Amino acid sequence: MTSNPDTNGLCPVPFMQQELFPTEGGFLKGRLCNPFPGLPSNVTCCLPCPHADWRYPEGFVEKTEVANWLALVVFILNCLMLLSFAVLPTKWTHRHYLGVCLAIAILFMELAFIVPLGARPEECFNDITPNDMKSDLTCAFSGAFIIFGGFSVVMWSFCRALSLHLQICWDVIPGNKFFYGTLVFGWGLPAAGLAVALIITGTSYRFGSICHINHDHSIADFWGPLMGFSAAALVIQFVTLAYCVHVYIKSLLDNSPTTDGSSGMPQYTGSVRTLSTRQAYRRVRRVIQLQWRGIAVVLTIIGNVIFFTVIFISLDNSARGTPEIILKSTPWLACLATAKGDRNQCVPLARELGPNEAATMAVLILLSLSGMWTLIFLGRFSMILGWIDLVKRKIAPTREFVSADARDLPSRNRAYEMLSASQQDNAKSPEPLLSSSPSDMSMSTLRFSGAKAVDPEAYGREQKYTSPVLSFSTPRPPSATHRHERGLSQDWDPQSSFAQGRSAPPYWYGDTKS
């Protein structure tokens, strides 16, 4: 950084005198200004903007642009995953609205890194004042995207953890009310939080080319609610996992016979159905097998959010002009004045004022790679197979023969023969044909014939339906009158008709609910 004698005033290099700059424009509260020892009390010296260039080694801030490019790659991959959700059938994607909304929320966070790549914004309004959302439009968009995206990610992680908790611990399947409630809760609350954060706190350039929320009142209107819902989602997730462990251990100690149908026949203990421990374990295990991806993505994202929050709050505290921070930063400021602005000599002293370069770089990289967790846990290899299948069907569509219409055949070959009941006995079994509905083949048997057209009216006479002798369409045996008409003996033998006697117990199939 080069000094300007016109703006340094009475302050030593590299500091600049605040009284020489206008009091309007930019984010005035973002200035790092303090009285300097040995100067008049009415002289205030400010650290040149951008401030991050002085706290970290030379070239470190430029390296943080890697996070922006990583976010661009992850953004493209997430868009492809959402396109797969929209185009491919469910059998390939196994999509769910909770996962789709979580992926969309991730996209908003990635946009906060992508916008500065195209806009190349100016971080500073003047030599000592950073830009904010009012003085720079790019700052307004990047700050809004990261606030809304971060809040939405936490809310949808909370909704997913709550949905899993209801299914496993309370055996409740979320319905339409839960669906519409989560849509309002997952998008409405972040929108309200964004409005409150922008009006009360605002955003400004504080580190790199991305605008972050300011530190004034940020705990109350952003970081506090964010940490509250993150902690709630984490607690619900751990309670759910603890219940799973409890059910698993209890199932190992349960020696009672199972009643879930695996033994062949269900058992009954009365009119009220009982749920054994092993049944609960099997139900929980099935849900875990289907929802383990959601559990993993929620735990990972919530863990990252807590890490981000701790680092950014630490940055907020280091930027406050409290007497404790001023006293703590005095050795570093004195070093800058003694070294004539050589920041590399004073970097070790600046590390005590907040997160070091390793922690800061880790936060930016993890924040830009937040979308990777949705790709890893919500994306499936079957999506690639689904796209291959879709391309194959578009390039070489299969041609199906429909029995009701054979337009690709000459008109002279359009002949169908409807066989009567008497002719079906002597005719060969016709080849099965594709039909638009199962009922098309229920009234008669159609067979394509290459001979001349057969008059369908020749087989149009009505025939009285005669019930077969061995018909068991009803659960009662034939009456005595029917047995006499059929020439059967009066003593009906159930075994002759493969029926069960009265002493045989009835068979039940499937789950029986009282």
Note whether residue 65 is domain-resident: yes
- Residue 235 and residue 424: Cα distance in Å, rounded? 70
pLDDT at 203: 94
CATH number of the domain encompassing residue 299: 1.20.1070.10
pLDDT at 312: 86
pLDDT at 349: 85
pLDDT at 322: 66
pLDDT at 257: 55
**Judgement on whether residues 76 and 177 belong to the same structural domain of the protein:** yes
**Judgement on whether residues 81 and 139 belong to the same structural domain of the protein:** yes
pLDDT at 491: 53
pLDDT at 289: 80
Note whether residue 444 is domain-resident: no
Q: Which residue has the tokens 């969309």?
A: 104
How many CB atoms within 10 Å of residue 455?
9
Residue 493, helix vs strand vs coil: coil
pLDDT at 251: 78
Note whether residue 399 is domain-resident: no
**Judgement on whether residues 42 and 87 belong to the same structural domain of the protein:** no
Cα 175-180-186 angle, rounded to 5 deg: 120
**Judgement on whether residues 113 and 198 belong to the same structural domain of the protein:** yes
Cα 390-395-398 angle, rounded to 5 deg: 80
Choose the final residue of a domain: 362, 378, 393.
393
As beta bridge partners, residue 448 has 416
**Judgement on whether residues 236 and 307 belong to the same structural domain of the protein:** yes
**Judgement on whether residues 40 and 91 belong to the same structural domain of the protein:** no
**Judgement on whether residues 29 and 122 belong to the same structural domain of the protein:** no
Note whether residue 483 is domain-resident: no
User: How many structural domains are present in the chain?
Assistant: 2
**Judgement on whether residues 34 and 70 belong to the same structural domain of the protein:** no
pLDDT at 245: 84
Note whether residue 424 is domain-resident: no
Choose the final residue of a domain: 371, 393, 415.
393
- Residue 452 and residue 497: Cα distance in Å, rounded? 44
Instruction: Say if CB 398 and CB 314 are below 8 A apart.
Output: no
Maximum Cα–Cα distance for the chain, whole Å? Answer: 128
Choose the final residue of a domain: 393, 410, 445.
393
pLDDT-flagged residues of the chain (< 70):
1-6, 254-275, 319-322, 398-514
- The amino acid sitting at 187 is W
**Judgement on whether residues 30 and 68 belong to the same structural domain of the protein:** no
Tokens found for residue 148: 């809304």
* Cα radius of gyration rounded to whole Å, the chain: 38
Burial of 460 (0-12, 13-18, 19+ CB in 10 A): exposed
How many CB atoms within 10 Å of residue 82?
17
**Judgement on whether residues 147 and 22 belong to the same structural domain of the protein:** no
Closest CA to 403 of 450, 435, 443, 428: 435
**Judgement on whether residues 122 and 218 belong to the same structural domain of the protein:** yes
**Judgement on whether residues 188 and 334 belong to the same structural domain of the protein:** yes
- Domain span at residue 12 reads 5-46
Note whether residue 326 is domain-resident: yes
pLDDT in tens, 113-138: 999 998 889 999 999 999 999 999 99
- Residue 311 and residue 309: Cα distance in Å, rounded? 6
For the full predicted model, state whether its pTM sits above 0.75: no
